[in-house]
């Protein structure tokens, strides 16, 4: 049914280098959230901290009321069973076939018979479109297939929370679109809490309920999609529009004077363009074959209304 994750005052550093500090946010149960940020701002580190692979210096991560950062090893392994994680390259076990990879969590954690396992594994492989590749080794397939196989493996234990580490990196735009649709469909089907770490703006605009942005060692903003897409915060606007003018530089942040100048050059045109409804990209909805739970029904109604208004305005 989805579990809420409550992060409070989280700070992580490697040696003397602070990755991010004082990050507080709540991932609402059953909703899709996206964590954005320029490369190297510790998005993956954030994800690994959520599942307790890395220990933060300060702060807490509460999953189903239990603080992941303070659990003992044994309890941590219990809590982790709530999670499904899709790693950047799928993180499949190289010595096992795709079938064995996906069956692995079932064989380790459940007492299901081989025929039951087979049914579940094939169902999940069908879900991600990998039927027919059961016997292949991870080394023999493309990056996109590895990602989908990793997703299937993350799904077999029916997790309450699914974390995606850059699901779109290294994929072509068409596959990214398919993957986004798959993520939305999955959310409508299993109602788990989703967190997607990415720097793909197009996905971030269409897919989530909530968006967060990490930059300059802190969480710049976290909130509903509409709020961030129409935000006037310079960092958020720069990132979501993917332009060079703004506080984010090539190597690091820029100095304030330069930012002022660039934003002035950009002119008022760009400023006035967005606040209208026009910038709000329509949301990706579950496919036609998927039965929508009430939450998605409401979202679909709201989207339809918004769209109708836009058409009327034009």
> What residues line the site for other proteins (CB under 8 A)?
48, 51, 53, 73, 77-78, 80-81, 83, 85, 87-89, 91-94, 104-105, 108-109, 150, 153, 157
Handedness of CA 254, 219, 199, 87 (dihedral sign): positive
Measured from the CB atom, is 91 or 177 closer to other proteins?
Answer: 91
Minimum gap (Å) between residue 31 Cβ and other proteins:
21
Length reported for the chain: 314
Measured from the CB atom, is 111 or 268 closer to other proteins?
Answer: 111
Minimum gap (Å) between residue 93 Cβ and other proteins:
6
Measured from the CB atom, is 96 or 306 closer to other proteins?
Answer: 96
DSSP 233: -
Minimum gap (Å) between residue 129 Cβ and other proteins:
21
Contact 98, 130 (CB under 8 A): yes
Measured from the CB atom, is 7 or 220 closer to other proteins?
Answer: 7
Measured from the CB atom, is 93 or 116 closer to other proteins?
Answer: 93
Element (H, E) at 289: none
Minimum gap (Å) between residue 151 Cβ and other proteins:
12
Minimum gap (Å) between residue 77 Cβ and other proteins:
5
Measured from the CB atom, is 69 or 245 closer to other proteins?
Answer: 69
Token code pair at residue 71: 């659990």
Of 145, 155, 154, nearest in space to 89 by CA: 145
Minimum gap (Å) between residue 29 Cβ and other proteins:
20
Of 178, 144, 188, 206, nearest in space to 286 by CA: 188
Query: CB within 8 A of 63, min separation 6: which ones?
Result: 3, 5, 50, 79, 82, 161
Contact 215, 248 (CB under 8 A): yes
Token code pair at residue 51: 């599942």
Minimum gap (Å) between residue 243 Cβ and other proteins:
32
DSSP 129: T
Angle between helices 114-127 and 98-109 (to 10 degrees): 130
Token code pair at residue 180: 């986004």
CA distance 123 to 186: 13
Measured from the CB atom, is 83 or 239 closer to other proteins?
Answer: 83
Minimum gap (Å) between residue 301 Cβ and other proteins:
36
CA distance 141 to 147: 10
CA distance 170 to 121: 26
Measured from the CB atom, is 159 or 246 closer to other proteins?
Answer: 159
């Amino acid at each position: 049914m989805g579990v809420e994750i409550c992060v409070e005052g989280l700070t992580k550093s490697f040696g003397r280098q602070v990755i991010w500090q004082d990050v507080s946010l709540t991932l609402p149960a059953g909703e899709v959230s996206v964590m954005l940020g320029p490369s190297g701002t510790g998005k993956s580190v954030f994800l690994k901290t959520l599942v307790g692979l890395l220990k933060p210096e300060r702060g807490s991560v509460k999953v189903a009321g239990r603080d992941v950062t303070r659990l003992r090893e044994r309890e941590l392994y219990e809590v982790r069973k709530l999670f499904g994680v899709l790693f950047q390259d799928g993180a499949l076990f190289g010595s096992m076939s795709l079938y064995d990879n996906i069956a692995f969590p079932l064989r380790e954690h459940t007492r299901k018979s081989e025929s039951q396992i087979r049914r579940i594994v094939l169902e999940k492989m069908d879900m991600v479109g990998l039927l027919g590749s059961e016997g292949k080794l991870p080394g023999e397939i493309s990056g996109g297939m590895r990602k989908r196989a990793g997703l299937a493996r993350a799904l077999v234990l029916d997790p309450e929370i699914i974390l995606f580490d850059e699901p779109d990196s290294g994929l072509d735009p068409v596959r990214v679109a398919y993957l986004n649709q798959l993520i939305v469909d999955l959310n409508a089907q299993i109602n788990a809490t989703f967190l997607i770490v990415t720097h793909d703006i197009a996905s971030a605009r269409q897919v989530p309920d909530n968006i967060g942005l990490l930059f300059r060692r802190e969480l710049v903003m976290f909130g509903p999609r509409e709020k961030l897409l129409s935000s006037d915060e310079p960092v958020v606007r720069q990132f979501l529009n993917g332009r060079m003018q703004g506080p984010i530089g090539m190597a690091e942040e820029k100095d304030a004077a330069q930012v002022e100048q660039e934003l002035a050059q950009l002119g008022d045109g760009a400023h006035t363009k967005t606040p209208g409804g026009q910038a709000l990209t329509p949301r990706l909805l579950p496919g036609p074959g998927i039965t929508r739970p009430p939450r998605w029904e409401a979202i679909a109604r709201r989207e339809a209304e918004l769209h109708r208004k836009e058409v009327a305005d034009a």
